[in-house]
């Protein structure tokens, strides 16, 4: 589609090198305040969410799709464990996960993003937890900062972007090693095989680092792994909390 047919977003205007001009100080520097506003608003809303799991996947999956149904079930089971569900707020797998969150009586969060072709929030998001973003990097921080697990259903480039962002942050020790679970062994098998056969064999990734990725086909296993991880983290932090409260 011709570029002129697309609505230019704030993200595009910020990142497109061809649009940079000598007077950028009159434009880009002032965008910092809008970016700050997105961070502040996101922090204010998300600070009320509690323990949460982010679920990613294709926006193109329809309700009769196997993975859509599995996402509903997975989110419902997680919600019944008291976990909030965070999605990108759109259709497909995102809609399925928000739908499951509401079925399970949990908090249903949608982090919507401004796109050239407008993405409408799905109807299963709790209104007080619908947050809209102009900038992808602000939105991505919210997924990372407020999640204690990622569940990655089949999806496209955007899903892969979220997946490898999380893997890199765990690999480099920037965040705790929370579960990153690929749902759908048939869908992900070729990618995991390639990572093992090419990246590991070339020494670009170690076998230990490959253990960051987990694969399953069962919603119940997703819940077991994430709940067990939360419990391990709580136990590891308990001595530190105790030490910090001695004498207070």
CA separation, residue 32 to residues 16, 26, 164, 194 (Å)? 16, 11, 26, 40
**Are residues 211 and 176 in contact, defined by beta-carbon separation less than 8 angstroms?**
no
Rounded Cα distance, 26 and 168, in Å: 35
Rounded to 5 degrees, φ, ψ at 106 are -105, 175
What burial class does residue 139 get, using C-beta atoms within 10 Å of its C-beta: 0-12 exposed, 13-18 middle, 19+ buried? buried
Q: Are the CB atoms for 154 and 184 separated by under 8 Å?
A: yes
- Which tokens in the block code for residue 131? 């947050």
pLDDT in tens, 54-73: 999 999 999 999 999 999 99
**Given a cut of 80, is residue 14 above it in pLDDT?**
no
CATH number of 34-245: 3.40.50.450
d(CA 179, CA 227): 10
pLDDT tens profile 197-217: 999 999 999 999 999 999 999
**Amino acid 53: pLDDT:** 98
pLDDT class for 233, splitting at 50, 70, 90? confident
Please give the pLDDT value at position 26. 59
Q: Return the closest-CA partner of residue 186 out of 32, 70, 108.
A: 70
Greater confidence (25 vs 77) lies with: 77
Mapping DSSP onto H, E and C, the string for the chain reads CCHHHCCCCHHHHHHCHHHCCCCHHHCHHHHHHHHHHHHHHHHHHHCCCCCEEEEECCCCCCCCCHHHHHHHHHHHHHHHCCCEEEECCCCCHHHHHHHHHHHCCCCEEEEEECCCCCCCCCCCCCHHHEEEECCHHHHHHHHHHCCCCEEECCCCHHHHHHHHHHHHHHHCCCCCCCCEEEECHHHHHHHHHHHHHHHHCCCCCCHHHHCCEEEECCHHHHHHHHHHHHHHHHHHHHHHHHHHHCCC
* 98 vs 75: CA distance, rounded Å: 7
User: What's the confidence (pLDDT) of residue 248?
Assistant: 42
The residue extents of the domains of the chain are 34-245
Q: What is the pLDDT of residue 231?
A: 93
Question: pLDDT tens digits, residue range 164-179?
Answer: 999 999 999 998 889 9
How far CA 82 is from CA of 50, 88, 89, 215, 223, in Å, comes to 9, 20, 20, 23, 11
Confidence class for position 1, pLDDT limits 50, 70, 90 = very low
Token pair for 154: 């089949």
Distance in angstroms (rounded) separating the CA atoms of residues 98 and 127: 12
pTM confidence score: 0.86
pLDDT-based confidence at residue 237 (cuts at 50, 70, 90)? confident
**Span 110-122, mean pLDDT?**
84
């Amino acid at each position: 589609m011709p570029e002129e047919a697309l609505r230019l977003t704030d993200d595009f205007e910020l990142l497109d090198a061809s649009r940079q001009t000598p007077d950028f100080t009159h434009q880009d520097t002032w965008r910092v305040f809008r970016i700050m506003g997105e961070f502040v608003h996101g922090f204010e809303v998300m600070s009320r969410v509690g323990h949460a799991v982010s679920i990613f996947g294709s926006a193109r999956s329809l309700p009769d799709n196997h993975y859509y149904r599995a996402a509903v079930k997975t989110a419902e089971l997680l919600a019944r464990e008291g976990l909030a569900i965070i999605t990108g707020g759109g259709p497909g797998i995102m809609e399925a996960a928000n739908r499951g969150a509401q079925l399970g009586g949990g908090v249903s969060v949608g982090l919507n993003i401004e796109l050239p072709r407008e993405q409408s929030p799905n109807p299963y998001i709790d209104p007080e937890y619908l947050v809209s973003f102009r900038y992808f990097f602000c939105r991505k921080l919210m997924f990372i900062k407020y999640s204690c697990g990622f569940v990655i259903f089949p999806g496209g480039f955007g899903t892969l972007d979220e997946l490898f962002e999380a893997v890199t942050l765990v690999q480099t020790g920037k965040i705790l090693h929370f579960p990153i679970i690929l749902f759908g062994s048939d869908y992900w098998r070729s990618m995991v095989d390639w990572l093992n056969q090419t990246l590991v064999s070339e020494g670009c990734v170690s076998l230990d680092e490959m253990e960051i990725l987990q694969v399953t086909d069962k919603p119940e296993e997703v819940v077991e792994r994430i709940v067990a991880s939360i419990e391990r983290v709580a136990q590891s932090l308990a001595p530190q909390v105790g030490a910090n409260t001695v004498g207070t």
